[in-house]
Structure 1
Amino acid sequence: MSKVLAVDLGGTQLRAGLCAAAAPAAVEHIGAWPAPKGLDGFREAIARMAHDHGAERFGVSVPGTARGTRCLWIPNLPWLDGVDLAGLFPNLSIGLGQDAQLALLAEVSAGAAKGLSDAMLVAIGTGIGSAVLSGSRIMRGGQGAACSFGWACADLDDEGHDRDGWLERQASGRAFDAIGRQAGFSDGRGLVAAARAGNATAIDALARPAKALGVSLATAVALLDPQTVILAGGVAEAADVLVPMVRAAMEKQLPPHLRRVRIEAGSFGKDASLVGAAFAGARGQQWDEIR
Structure 2
Amino acid sequence: MVRHVIALDVGGTGMKAALVGDGGGLLHRARRATGRERGSDAVVADILDFAAELRAYGLERYGEPAAAAGLAVPGIVDERHGVAVYAANLGWRDVPLRALLAERLGVPVALGHDVRTGGLAEGRIGAGRGADRFLFVPLGTGIAGAIGVDGRVEAGAHGFAGEIGHIVVRPQGTPCPCGQRGCLERYASASAVSEAWAAACGDPEADAADCAKAVASGDPNAVRVWQGAVDALADGLVTALTLLDPRTLIIGGGLAEAGDVLFGPLRDAVRRRVTFQKLPSIVPAALGDSAGCLGAGLLARDLLTTGPTPTTPEVTA
- Fold shared by both chains (TM-score > 0.5): yes
Bigger mean CA deviation after superposition, 100-109 or 211-220:
100-109
> Aligned pair in 2 of structure 1 residues 212, 28: CA closer, same or farther (>3 Å)?
farther
CA distance 1:160–1:201, change in 2 (3 Å)? closer
Task: Rate the CA distance shift 1:270–1:227 in 2: closer, same or farther, 3 A.
Answer: same
The answer for the alignment partner of 1:16 in structure 2 is: 17
Contact 1:232 1:270 in 2 (8 A): no
2:171 pairs with 1:156? yes
User: Segments of 4+ in structure 1 off by > 6 A?
Assistant: none
Match for residue 240 of structure 1?
260
1:122 alignment partner AA: V
Residue 197 (structure 1) shift: 2.4
Deviation at 1:28, TM superposition (A): 4.5
* Alignment partner, residue 253 of structure 1: 273
Question: Out of 274, 278, 285, which is 1:266 matched to?
Answer: 285
Hey, what's the Cα distance between the residues in 2 that align with 1:253 and 1:230? Answer: 18
Distance in 2 of aligned mates of 1:129 and 1:106: 15
| In 1: Cα distance, 2:155 partner to 2:123 partner | 15
Out of 73, 78, 96, the residue aligned to residue 86 of structure 2 is 73
Q: 2:160 aligns with which of 145, 165, 170?
A: 145
Does 1:62 find its partner at 2:79? no
Cα 1:183–1:71 change in 2 (3 A) is same
Partner of 1:210: 230
Match for 2:29: what amino acid?
Answer: I
Tell whether 2:144 aligns with 1:129: yes
Partner of 1:166: 183
In the superposition, relative to structure 1, how do residues 130 and 270 fare at CA in structure 2: closer, same or farther (>3 Å)? same
Q: Distance in 2 between matches of 1:81 and 1:252?
A: 44
Q: Indicate whether 1:277 and 2:304 are aligned.
A: no
2:169·2:232 contact (CA, 8 Å) conserved in 1? Answer: yes
The 2-side partners of 1:175 and 1:194 are apart by 16
The amino acid that maps onto 1:73 is Y
Q: How far 1:160 moved relative to its partner?
A: 4.5
What is the letter of the counterpart of residue 7 of structure 2?
A: A
Q: Look up the match of 1:86.
A: 99
- Which digits, 9 at most, give the CA deviation of each residue in 1:13-68, with x for residues without a partner? 11111111x223x2245221110432223222222222332323111111123223
Aligned partners of 2:248, 2:259: CA distance in 1, in Å? 14
Closer, same or farther: CA 13–58 of 1 in aligned 2, 3 Å: same
**Residue 219 and residue 99 in structure 1: after superposition, are their counterparts in 2 closer, same or farther (change >3 A)?**
same
Q: CA RMSD in A?
A: 2.1
> Secondary structure of 2:168's match?
coil
Residue 131 of structure 2 aligns to a residue whose secondary structure is: coil
Q: Is 2:266 the counterpart of 1:220?
A: no
Unaligned runs of at least 5 residues, structure 1: none
- The answer on whether the counterparts of 1:236 and 1:269 sit within 8 Å (CA) in structure 2 is no
Q: Could you tell me the TM-score, scaled by structure 2's length?
A: 0.84
* Structure 1 residues 44 and 29: CA distance shift in structure 2, 3 A: same
Conservation of the 8 A alpha-carbon contact between 1:128 and 1:168: yes
Does the residue aligned with 1:129 lie in a helix, a strand or coil? coil
Separation of aligned partners in 2, 1:98 and 1:210: 26
Q: Is the 8 A contact 2:7 2:70 kept in 1?
A: yes
The residue that corresponds to 1:49 in the other structure is 54
Q: How far apart, in 2, do the equivalents of 1:30 and 1:13 lie?
A: 14
CA distance in structure 2 between the aligned counterparts of 1:116 and 1:248, rounded to whole angstroms: 22
1:163: Cα distance to partner? 7.6
Distance 1:104 1:2 in 2: 25
- Change in Cα spacing, 1:167 to 1:61, as seen in structure 2 (3 Å) is same
The CA deviation at 1:80 is 5.4
Percent identity at matched positions? 28
| Amino acid corresponding to residue 217 of structure 2 in structure 1 | A
